Amino acid sequence: MNSSLNPTQRSAALASLASEEFDVLVIGGGINGVGIALDAASRGLTVALVESSDFASGTSSKSSKLIHGGLRYLEQYDFKLVREALHERELMVSTLSPHLVKPVSFLYPLQEKLKERTYVGAGMALYDALRGFKRALPWHKHLTQKRISEIAPSLRLDVVTGGYQYFDAQVDDARHTMSIARTAAKYGAVITTRTTCSELIMNGKKVVGAHIIDNETGDLIKVKAKSTIMAAGVWTDPLYAKFGVKPGYAVRMSKGAHIVVPGSAIKSETGVIIKTDISVLFIIPWGDKWIVGTTDTDYDESREEPLATSEDVTYIINQANRVLEPKLRRDQVIGVFAGLRPLVSTDPDSPTTKLSREHVVDSPTPGFVSIAGGKYTTYRVMAEDAVNEAINHLRKIVPDSVTETLAIVGAEGYSVLMNQIPRLAAQYSVSEETIEHLLNRYGSLLDEVLEPLKSNSKLSEQLMENLPYLKAEILYAVTHEGARSVDDVLSRRTRIAFEASDQGLSVLDEVANLIAGPLGWNAAAKKASMKVYKDLVDRQNDEFTNAKKSKAKVS
């Protein structure tokens, strides 16, 4: 089946919402929601997914971009969670999404020779051992101070006495989430964005569907469903209140902010992880740049738009500068982003809530299930748990989950195509670097991205001089990947919003012109979408300007 998400597909999906009865209705298009849609559809269930904004528009596009076991969870003796996350990491790197999830090495610097080396070394050995026999990534190794000075010249040798190198993996979280949505569509799920659930439809105490509003037209659609699963992240509490259903848990929000700096700011061949008083700080390679973060602060402001504040930027720079020389400077920061973690606390009086693996599956009323918490890395397990609970409301025999071996779109044949880069470059008259860039974003869907070049060779040009994105990718975002706005394209289909020093404002017109045709925009619609994005950038830049003016001292 076709995995394309575009205006034609959306119209057909809206018609299906109004006319069909579904086994499962999923509310939420973050990583958990799309994972649930794929799990249910691949078991043969009829599935619909509604998302009020864009795929991954909340937490799932603003993570640290890591697929990891969670080294720090070992200190909390949460071995089960670490083992499970490491298993999922290996699956993604080797089978499920090798074109998107890539190994990345990290250096854990030591600042004390004997006691710390023994303690951390034991943790590293356990981290490696917990992943079992299937190993896509190398073992950890101890490095001397001299070796560290060679591979990470930016680390301060007056405080770093040695270190351990170990491997985890990283991902473009927004692209990965969207690709899973496409995979769910491929297997029959009805997928829509810009569709908001306004209320649940009840038959007595049983939920039998929901009223959905098409945000673009204002139309109200009555969707019939035998079970409804809410995967709304930080929106869980307000939605429970809106629906008039008593939850078995509450979601507390924690903000995680990150900064992006140029590759030249830090000289290292590897990522770095350092312990802080409250958590850990990652210095993560991201193409020719570095992502540095994260914070972990309680948050009770707007869920709509968490911003990286003056204090966030100062904290991140100060923590990184404990081990870096030369020190990071505020004027080196290219971009920032901040996301909200949905942390769960359970209600002890609610026997319907099941707490497992740091996520919660709740079924407070017949026909309704919700899930929250957990880690991005374990999305597949969480989805399986949520669908297993929903099946209890269906009263029919449903096959077990098959997602452990189900590769997402673009994964099939990826390794073969990587061996054929010279041939593909000649075939499409683009550079080998361009082909490699595209394969690591689209995998075997590469030919779909480059198809329009046959009629318009200018689409092979880069959109921005210092970033690898082609104009063809901007067009593809709306013809195949469900993008509906300039913000969708610049913030999530590409990561120009935090990778470009001007956040992409210099190409705003060009992006809008490229996508206007397929989206059927007139001049007013194009102008409106551009304004929404520019206003978003202005608000974040105001925070950052305030940061520059603030009295917070960077040490």
Cα–Cα distance measured from residue 59 to residue 169, given in angstroms and rounded to the nearest whole number: 19
Cα–Cα distance measured from residue 370 to residue 353, given in angstroms and rounded to the nearest whole number: 9
Query: Tokens standing for 526?
Result: 């194009």
Contact 230, 370 (CB under 8 A): yes
Nearest to 387 by CA among 18, 69, 46, 21: 46
Residues sharing a CB contact under 8 Å with residue 524, sequence separation 6 or more, in sequence order:
none
Query: Tokens standing for 161?
Result: 């006495």
Whether 354 shows a pLDDT value over 80: the answer reads no
Cα–Cα distance measured from residue 156 to residue 146, given in angstroms and rounded to the nearest whole number: 12
More confident residue, 79 or 346: 79
pLDDT tens for each residue of 37-66: 999 999 999 999 999 999 999 999 999 999
pLDDT tens for each residue of 228-258: 999 999 999 999 999 999 888 888 888 999 9
CB neighbours of residue 325 within 10 Å: 14
Q: Which fold is adopted by the domain 63-171+252-341? A: D-Amino Acid Oxidase; Chain A, domain 2 (3.30.9)
CB neighbours of residue 509 within 10 Å: 12
Nearest to 37 by CA among 285, 312, 366, 406: 406
Which pTM value belongs to this model? 0.94
Q: Which DSSP category does 241 fall into?
A: H
Cα–Cα distance measured from residue 33 to residue 66, given in angstroms and rounded to the nearest whole number: 19
Query: Tokens standing for 45?
Result: 């269930």
Query: Tokens standing for 359?
Result: 């996520």
Cα–Cα distance measured from residue 309 to residue 546, given in angstroms and rounded to the nearest whole number: 8
Query: Residue 357 has what pLDDT?
Result: 43
Query: Residue 545 has what pLDDT?
Result: 66
More confident residue, 86 or 527: 527
Contact 261, 334 (CB under 8 A): yes
What's CA 497's distance to the chain center, in Å? 15
Residues sharing a CB contact under 8 Å with residue 9, sequence separation 6 or more, in sequence order:
2, 185, 191, 482
pLDDT tens for each residue of 5-36: 999 999 999 999 999 999 999 999 999 999 99
Backbone angles phi, psi at 166, to 5 degrees: -140, 175
Query: Residue 301 has what pLDDT?
Result: 84
Whether 552 shows a pLDDT value over 70: the answer reads no
What rounded mean pLDDT belongs to the chain? 91
Find the helix or strand (DSSP H, E) in which 432 lies.
helix 432-442
More confident residue, 433 or 555: 433
Cα–Cα distance measured from residue 546 to residue 551, given in angstroms and rounded to the nearest whole number: 10
Q: What is the mean pLDDT of residues 180-193?
A: 98
Contact 152, 272 (CB under 8 A): yes
Q: Where are the alpha helices (DSSP H) in 456-520?
A: 471-479, 486-487, 496-499, 508-519
Nearest to 28 by CA among 142, 163, 180, 152: 180
User: Under CATH, domain 7-60+175-248+351-405 is a member of which superfamily?
Assistant: FAD/NAD(P)-binding domain (3.50.50.60)
Report angle CA 286, 289, 295 to the nearest 5 degrees: 75
| Residue showing tokens 């989805």 | 383
Domain boundaries, the chain: 7-60+175-248+351-405, 63-171+252-341, 414-548
Whether 546 shows a pLDDT value over 90: the answer reads no
Cα–Cα distance measured from residue 481 to residue 9, given in angstroms and rounded to the nearest whole number: 11
Query: Residue 343 has what pLDDT?
Result: 85
CATH architecture group of domain 414-548: Orthogonal Bundle (1.10)
pLDDT tens for each residue of 481-516: 999 999 999 999 999 999 999 999 999 999 999 999
CB neighbours of residue 508 within 10 Å: 19
Q: How confident is the model at residue 390 (pLDDT cuts 50, 70, 90)?
A: very high
Q: Which amino acid is at 154?
A: S
Percent composition of the chain: helix, strand, coil (DSSP 3-state, to 5): 45, 25, 30
CB neighbours of residue 348 within 10 Å: 8
Orientation angle between helical segments 310-320 and 523-549, nearest 10 degrees:
60
Provide the 3-class DSSP secondary structure of residue 467: coil
pLDDT tens for each residue of 337-347: 999 988 887 65
